[in-house]
């Protein structure tokens, strides 16, 4: 007689492990879609505990995969709305909750979250597919209507989110996110906690929208940052002398004046407009500044100076 196999810790029997079932069915994980399944239950539990989920919360999850995190979220929340791009994993997740008390609490949206409107949610808790980290965070910022977000991302991306002015990794992403949210590092996660393991280490970060909201349109602020951080080590006066930058801003300037019934300046090859930009930078005191060392207050004051001159970035 064969002795029954012992179960160690939180490890499930092979037949009940959804990850094992997926692999047994020869469903290959697609790395190009960021399908690195978080397999360590201790990490999953830590994420759920640190998310601060209330029994009345609707939780948004991106890329639920086989549902290791999803079922823990369902146990805590009123509802989980999960975006999944892979129909094979949608079917597996549906099987996992079928005929259980968790089934009516789960809504699965098949599709690309970047191409769809975000539904209502209180919290976002996700092991985020790494290749969509940046565009998804920007989408979250523009959405803005949530209490907090707790996401697993690539460690370097997490370091960029939390970088401060003067840091090597301080970037357009850092300035943008920190204007709209309080960002904190929660924990590091080794690549050995995933199957298949990614090539990089991971980290969990928490974002909480600032209240009240910053007095600026997200698209307008981001437009300024695109110019300033195109070459963050260059002086702003040098950066704003670029022909492509001047052409874009002059086009926005004329459109803004025309839309409000104000007289647009005559087209003179850009000489007058270039002088206007130089005067804004000089009088605001930022002509010799470099984006790498400017904090959110500096950038907001610069944007206000340009807007007062009817120069817009979006």
* Token pair in block for residue 206: 């928490």
- Does the annotation place 36 within a ligand binding site? yes
Cα distance from N-terminal residue to C-terminal residue, the chain: 74
- Is 38 annotated to bind a ligand? Reply is yes
| Nearest residue to 51 (alpha-carbon basis) of 251, 205, 255, 282 | 205
- Is 193 assigned a ligand-binding role in the annotation? no
Is 180 marked as a binding-site residue?
no
Can you tell me the distance from the alpha carbon of 222 to that of 112, in angstroms, rounded to the nearest whole number? 23
Q: Does 253 show up as a binding residue in the annotation?
A: no
SS3 content of the chain, % helix, strand, coil (to 5): 45, 15, 35
Going 148 to 152 to 155 to 160, the CA torsion angle's sign is negative
Structure token pair of residue 63: 């890329």
Nearest to 17, CA basis, from 77, 68, 90, 64 = 68
- The span from the CA of 69 to the CA of 251, in Å, is 48
Q: Give the residue ranges of the annotated binding site for S-adenosyl-L-methionine.
A: 36, 38, 63, 84, 112, 127
Q: Give the residue ranges of the annotated binding site.
A: 36, 38, 63, 84, 112, 127
């Amino acid at each position: 007689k064969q002795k029954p196999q012992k179960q160690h810790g939180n490890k499930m029997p092979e037949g009940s492990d959804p990850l094992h079932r997926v692999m047994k069915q020869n469903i290959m994980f697609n790395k190009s879609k960021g399908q690195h399944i978080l397999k360590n239950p201790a990490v999953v539990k830590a994420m759920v505990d640190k998310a601060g989920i209330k029994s009345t919360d609707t939780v948004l999850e991106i890329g639920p995969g086989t549902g290791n995190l999803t079922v823990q979220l369902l146990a805590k929340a009123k509802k989980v709305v999960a975006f999944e791009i892979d129909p094979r994993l949608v079917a597996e997740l549906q099987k996992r909750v079928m005929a259980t008390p968790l089934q009516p609490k789960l809504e699965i949206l098949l599709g690309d979250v970047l191409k769809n409107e975000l539904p209502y949610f209180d919290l976002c808790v996700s092991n985020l597919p790494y290749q969509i980290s940046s565009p998804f965070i920007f989408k979250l910022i523009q959405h803005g209507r949530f209490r907090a977000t707790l996401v697993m991302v690539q460690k370097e991306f997490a370091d960029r989110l939390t970088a401060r002015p003067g840091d090597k990794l301080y970037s357009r992403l850092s300035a943008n996110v920190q204007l709209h949210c309080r960002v904190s590092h929660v924990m590091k996660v080794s690549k050995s906690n995933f199957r298949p393991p990614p090539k990089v280490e991971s980290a969990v970060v928490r974002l909480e929208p600032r209240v009240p909201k910053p007095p600026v349109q997200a698209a307008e602020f981001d437009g300024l940052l695109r110019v300033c951080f195109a070459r963050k080590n260059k002086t702003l006066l040098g950066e704003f002398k670029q022909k492509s930058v001047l052409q874009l801003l002059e086009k926005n300037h004329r459109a803004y004046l025309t839309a409000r019934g104000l007289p647009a300046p005559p087209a003179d090859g850009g000489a007058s407009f270039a002088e206007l930009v130089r005067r804004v930078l000089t009088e605001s005191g930022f002509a010799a500044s470099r984006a790498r060392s400017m904090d959110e207050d500096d950038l907001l004051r610069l944007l206000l100076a340009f807007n007062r001159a009817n120069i817009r970035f979006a």
